[in-house]
Amino acid sequence: MIQVESLSVFYGERVAVQNATLIAPSGTITAIVGPSGCGKSSFLAALNRMTDLIPGARTEGTVRIHGQNTYGDDISPALLRRSIGMIFQKANPFPLSIRQNLQLALREHGVRQRPELESRTEAALRDVGLWDEVKDRLDQPALRLSGGQQQRLCIARAIILEPRVLLMDEPCSALDPIASAHVESLIQSFKGRYTILIVTHNLAQARRLADHLAVFWYEGEAGRIIEQGNATELFDNPQHPTVAAYLAGQRG
């Protein structure tokens, strides 16, 4: 369960996200849509404190993930991020072998026994449907994989740490239609298992995947959530005229 309350994200003087409030129940998929530059990525990055890495970035408001306050004083960002998987628009496997990509973080987090490392590697690769494609070349560079395979490897790299939350920032937008469909059905299969927040520009995809929908818009010098709710209801019956036009494909 993700509870976000009046979250604002600032870059220096600039407000990227203003007062965003959102609740995502456990095991559901929440799609975040909206035009470019309205703060979707910033919102996502604030949830696992990736904003800490950006000089001059600052947040306000509260974020609770499974009851735990993301910005609490006793929280270690590294520990927090370990329990929150993040998938980026551009697949970014490390320039290492497939095996090392998956095991680097596991080892860092204390898994040392070879059998456990191997079995978790296999399980993660099976979960993303990559096992049969790569089982004979686990020691080859991950960067030799195709774009779609790389993105699935990144997803495997995230879920091998057994997070409860997945944050996905346009995970399909750099992929060809077939690879994109593949990743999408993968996300579909994750429903119930992870709490997923997915940013997408593909409204049809949002409609197919999402239980819950949040529409971001740039309004009054800042990005904000202008409407949210049950995905089916919101698609069928949006209240906000801007949202209605956007969802009908006329704006944004």
Partner 1 sequence: MNSETRNDRLSLSFSRRFGPELATVLTGIPALVVAGMFGWILADILYHGLTQFSWAFLTSAPEDAGRQGGISTILVSTLMILGITLIIVVPVSLATAVELAERRSRSVRFDRLVRRSLDVLAACPSIVFGLFGNAFFCVYLKMGYSILAGGLTLACMVLPLLIRTSEQAIRAVPDEYRHAAASLGLSRWTTLFRIVLPAALPAMAAGLVLSIGRALSETAALIFTSGYVTRSPESLFDSGRAMSVHIYDLAMNVPGGNPRAYATAATLLIVLLVINGIAVRLTRIAGLTLNPSLEKNH
Ligand X SMILES: Nc1ncnc2c1ncn2[C@@H]1O[C@H](COP(=O)(O)OP(=O)(O)OP(=O)(O)O)[C@@H](O)[C@H]1O
Chain contacts with Mg ion (rule: CB under 5 A): 41
What distance separates the 2 farthest-apart alpha carbons in the chain?
A: 57
Note whether 79 binds partner 1 by CB under 8 A. yes
Given Mg ion, ligand X, partner 1, none, residue 96, with its beta carbon under 5 to 8 Å by kind, binds: partner 1
Of 214, 209, 156, nearest to 39 by C-alpha is 214
Return the SS3 of 11.
strand
- As beta bridge partners, residue 9 has 17, 59
Pick 33 or 155: Cβ nearer Mg ion: 33
The residue within the footprint of ligand X, chosen from 4, 39, 145, 206 (CB under 6 A), is 39
Note whether 104 binds partner 1 by CB under 8 A. yes
Note whether 171 binds partner 1 by CB under 8 A. no
Q: HSE, CB side, 13 Å, CA atoms: give it for residue 25.
A: 8
Note whether 38 binds ligand X by CB under 6 A. yes
Only segment of 25-33, 49-57, 65-73, 244-252 that touches partner 1 (CB under 8 A): 49-57
CA 18 to chain centre: 20
Note whether 75 binds ligand X by CB under 6 A. no
Given partner 1, ligand X, Mg ion, none, residue 238, with its beta carbon under 5 to 8 Å by kind, binds: none
Distances (CA, A) of 233 to 12, 32, 101, 241, 244: 37, 15, 41, 15, 12
Under 8 Å between Cβ of 120 and 160: yes
Note whether 158 binds partner 1 by CB under 8 A. yes
The residue within the footprint of partner 1, chosen from 3, 141, 191, 229 (CB under 8 A), is 141
Note whether 72 binds partner 1 by CB under 8 A. no
Under 8 Å between Cβ of 147 and 175: yes
Alpha helices in the chain (DSSP H): 40-47, 77-82, 98-108, 114-127, 131-134, 147-159, 177-189, 203-209, 231-236, 241-247
Note whether 78 binds ligand X by CB under 6 A. no
> Please, what is the minimum distance in Å from the beta carbon of residue 105 to ligand X?
24
Pick 13 or 221: Cβ nearer partner 1: 13
Return the SS3 of 237.
coil
Only segment of 47-55, 131-139, 192-200, 234-242 that touches partner 1 (CB under 8 A): 47-55
d(CA 252, CA 234): 17
> Please, what is the minimum distance in Å from the beta carbon of residue 84 to partner 1?
8
**Residue ranges binding partner 1 (CB under 8 A):** 48, 50, 53, 55, 77-82, 84-86, 88, 90, 92-96, 104-105, 108-109, 141, 143-144, 154, 157-158, 161
